[in-house]
Amino acid sequence: MVEALDLFKETFAPYGLNKDSIVPGYGLAEHCVYVCDGGKSIIDVEKEKLEKEGVVKISSDSLNVCNTHLVSRQISCGFPSYNPDIIVAIVDHSTNKPLENDNVGEIWIDSPSKAHGYFGLEEKSKEDFHATINSEWFDSDEAAKNTTLRDYGKSHSFLRTGDLGFIHDGELYICGRIKDLIIIRGRNHYPQDIEHCAEQNENLRPGCSAAFSLNMADSEALVIVCEVKEDNIPKLDEIAAVIKNSISNEHGVGVYSVVLVKPRTNYKTSSGKIARQRCKASYLD
């Protein structure tokens, strides 16, 4: 989030932190971490185009920038092309066909740093670490526009990261995880955006909410589980109602259930990120 990055820099600036010394980057364990870094660009894109069509369109209306229900702010993670040994492609994960710039898809990566697979999981390794581009794509007009990927992809396989993102003006932007994506009435909602909206409530612990969807009667329903700051906060029903209203106004989606739990209840990963699928499983139990 832009706000978190700015707040960190402002907090430590009096102690000598140079604001340009920390920049966003992207990496993952399956690639021995590093993919790219040095991102400094921040763009405002039309939220409806991004969520309904998976298309990136820069917002041309400066008045809309402050309206979070109309605009989605995205932070660059740097230029993948600066390292020629790392090949990054944005791919439609349902067809395995690469997408053009400014389209959201799964991030595929290949380089000498890519791991060989998961220990003892041969089939899973084949699926995730050795994905190949759909052969139909190589004869398409899109392939003719991207000769580097066309020539490389014919003889190489890729790591499917499970991350959704796009490339704009050569820079990589991360939208979220495929498995965490919330799809309601044909519109894609990224859980971190919904969680951030809820956590503007002063009674909630920041970074400790989990948003996910449930399949109910052939439709998806939105649930968010939030940690309160203190055990004995009064008027929980009123707090939940405010959260529901905030999410509805900002994201245009109704909330089926807001669950308020005690501090340090929600599951997190070893690196401190919210473990949404574990939180969902706990909710269903």
List of domains in the chain: 2-41+76-177 (2.30.38.10), 182-284 (3.30.300.30)
CA atoms of 121 and 260, how far apart (whole Å): 38
The confidence score (pLDDT) of residue 151 equals: 96
pLDDT tens by residue, 180-227: 999 999 999 999 999 999 999 999 999 999 999 999 887 899 999 999
- How many CB atoms within 10 Å of residue 272? 7
Write phi, then psi, for 74 (nearest 5 degrees): -120, 140
The confidence score (pLDDT) of residue 61 equals: 67
Which residues of the chain are modeled with pLDDT < 70?
A: 1, 61-68
CA atoms of 155 and 222, how far apart (whole Å): 42
Angle subtended at Cα 178 by Cα 266 and Cα 213, rounded to the nearest 5 degrees: 50
The confidence score (pLDDT) of residue 19 equals: 86
The confidence score (pLDDT) of residue 76 equals: 96
C-alpha distances in Å from residue 137, one per residue of 74, 81, 131, 154, 179: 29, 22, 14, 10, 25
Q: Are 89 and 149 in contact (CB under 8 A)?
A: yes
CA atoms of 162 and 108, how far apart (whole Å): 8
